[in-house]
């Protein structure tokens, strides 16, 4: 009877180095820099560089507005005799009184015109662009992509190139020097149509549209009650883009309008700025008027940013 003796030597396992994040020891989870409480090298320096660049760009962006705010509080003597960012005697309310009383309140008339042109006009433009973009996304019709390609070609054409043809068309139709001469061109926005189609593809699922149709809703009812509320963030974004670019529009009103009472605030301030070379009184009026003209843009962004940044249909389709 023979006996068997196990001569195999036990294998000794060497524990992995503690600094290797991808390895496991026999006594616990892998050791990482986060578990030891140590930050990776260079993390705080990269954050400091990014924050420093953001502060630098913010200061560069706010510098003209800061100069405008400081200059609006001075009189003409302090405006020339003091530094650009140095406060002097506070004359803001006096300057505002002079601005609103000049020419029987012509500046107020220009502000109302701007709100009419670029407030209601851009609201209508955003609605038209949203409807057309929704149609390009949800409907199938002949030559759909070719027509959309023409829309994209319209994006490549600068708006200033179209001003003269638009003026000739308005003159033939008898609309020049009227409110319609500025309002009608705002309704056509190729970039808005493109952006609305992108938003429609992202925010309005096809399943929701088909469910509304199966419930008996007509196409207009589907768009008005289902599509438009779901695409509200895109609609607000379109309105803000159009409102910002149109509020600063100068060339179109310059060609279309000749009556001073029909001017928007941008064109009126440009006329005052040109007249300040002969009459220094207009220089102060232009500065204070420019400060007031910025306020509607700030109010629009502050009031609408929560709609702009929200996603109403996140997780709507499971």
Count of Cβ atoms closer than 10 Å to residue 151 Cβ: 18
97, 121, 145 — which closes off a domain? Answer: 97
- What residue has token string 């990014």? 50
Q: What is the mean pLDDT of residues 311-317?
A: 41
Residue count of the chain, please give it.
318
CATH number at residue 236: 1.10.3720.10
Q: How many domains does the chain have?
A: 2
Q: Is residue 162 part of a domain?
A: yes
Q: What is the mean pLDDT of residues 16-28?
A: 47
Q: Based on the domain organization, do 93 and 212 belong to the same domain?
A: no
Out of 106-120, 132-146, 273-287, pick the least confident. Answer: 273-287
Q: Based on the domain organization, do 84 and 117 belong to the same domain?
A: no
Query: pTM for this structure?
Result: 0.75
| pLDDT over 70 (residue 237) | yes
| pLDDT over 70 (residue 202) | yes
Q: Which residue has the higher pLDDT, 310 or 219?
A: 219
Asked whether the beta carbons of 64 and 46 are under 8 A apart, the reply is no
C-alpha torsion 258→264→267→272, nearest 10: 100
Q: Based on the domain organization, do 145 and 169 belong to the same domain?
A: yes
Nearest alpha carbon to residue 122 among 170, 189, 220 = 189
Is the Cα dihedral 246, 247, 251, 257 positive or negative?
A: positive
What is the rounded average pLDDT for all residues in the chain?
81
pLDDT, residue 112, reads 93
Q: Based on the domain organization, do 271 and 241 belong to the same domain?
A: yes
pLDDT, tens only, 70-107: 888 888 888 877 777 788 788 888 889 989 998 888 99
Q: Is residue 48 part of a domain?
A: no
pLDDT band of 43, cuts 50, 70, 90: low
Q: Based on the domain organization, do 204 and 123 belong to the same domain?
A: yes
Q: Based on the domain organization, do 133 and 218 belong to the same domain?
A: yes
pLDDT, tens only, 121-146: 999 999 999 999 999 999 998 999 99
Q: How far is CA 305 from CA 36, 200, 299, in A?
A: 41, 19, 10
Dist CA 43 CA 51 (whole Å): 12
pLDDT, residue 310, reads 58
Dist CA 184 CA 165 (whole Å): 13
pLDDT, residue 147, reads 92
Q: What is the mean pLDDT of residues 278-289?
A: 87
Q: Based on the domain organization, do 174 and 85 belong to the same domain?
A: no
Range(s) of the domain holding residue 73 = 59-97
Q: Is residue 232 part of a domain?
A: yes
- Which segments within the chain are labelled E, that is strand? none
pLDDT, residue 47, reads 83
- What residue has token string 């407030």? 119
Q: Based on the domain organization, do 86 and 122 belong to the same domain?
A: no
3-state secondary structure string, 146-186? HHHHHHHHHHHCCHHHHHHHHHHHHHHCCCCCCCHHHHHHH
pLDDT band of 4, cuts 50, 70, 90: very low
Q: Based on the domain organization, do 218 and 189 belong to the same domain?
A: yes
Q: Based on the domain organization, do 76 and 120 belong to the same domain?
A: no
- What residue has token string 């929200």? 310
Q: Based on the domain organization, do 75 and 173 belong to the same domain?
A: no
Q: Based on the domain organization, do 80 and 118 belong to the same domain?
A: no
pLDDT band of 249, cuts 50, 70, 90: confident
Q: Is residue 204 part of a domain?
A: yes
Q: What is the mean pLDDT of residues 181-191?
A: 90
């Amino acid at each position: 009877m023979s006996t068997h003796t196990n001569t195999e030597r036990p294998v000794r396992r060497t524990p992995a180095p503690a600094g290797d994040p991808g390895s496991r020891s026999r006594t616990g989870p892998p050791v990482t820099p986060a578990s030891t409480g140590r930050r990776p090298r260079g993390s705080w320096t990269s954050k400091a560089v990014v924050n420093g660049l953001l502060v630098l760009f913010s200061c560069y962006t706010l510098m003209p507005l800061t100069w405008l705010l400081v200059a609006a509080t001075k009189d003409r003597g302090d405006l020339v005799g003091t530094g650009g960012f140095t406060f002097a005697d506070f004359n803001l309310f006096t300057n505002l009184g002079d601005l609103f009383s000049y020419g029987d309140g012509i500046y107020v008339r220009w502000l109302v015109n701007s709100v009419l042109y670029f407030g209601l006009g851009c609201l209508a433009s955003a609605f038209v662009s949203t409807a057309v973009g929704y149609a390009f996304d949800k409907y199938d019709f002949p030559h759909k992509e070719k027509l959309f390609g023409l829309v994209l070609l319209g994006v490549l054409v600068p708006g200033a190139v179209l001003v003269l043809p638009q003026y000739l068309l308005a003159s033939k139709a008898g609309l020049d020097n009227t409110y319609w001469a500025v309002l009608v061109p705002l309704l056509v926005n190729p970039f808005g149509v493109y952006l609305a189609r992108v938003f429609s593809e992202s925010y309005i699922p096809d399943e929701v549209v088909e469910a509304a149709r199966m419930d008996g809703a007509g196409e207009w009812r589907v768009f008005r009650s289902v599509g438009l509320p779901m695409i509200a963030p895109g609609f607000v974004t379109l309105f803000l883009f159009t409102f910002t670019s149109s509020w600063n529009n100068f060339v179109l009103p310059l060609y279309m309008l000749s009556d001073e009472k029909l001017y928007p605030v941008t064109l009126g301030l440009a006329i005052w700025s040109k007249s300040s070379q002969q009459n220094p009184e207009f220089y102060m009026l232009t500065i204070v008027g420019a400060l007031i003209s910025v306020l509607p843009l700030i109010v629009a962004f502050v009031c609408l940013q929560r709609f702009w940044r929200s996603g109403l249909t996140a997780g709507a389709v499971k």
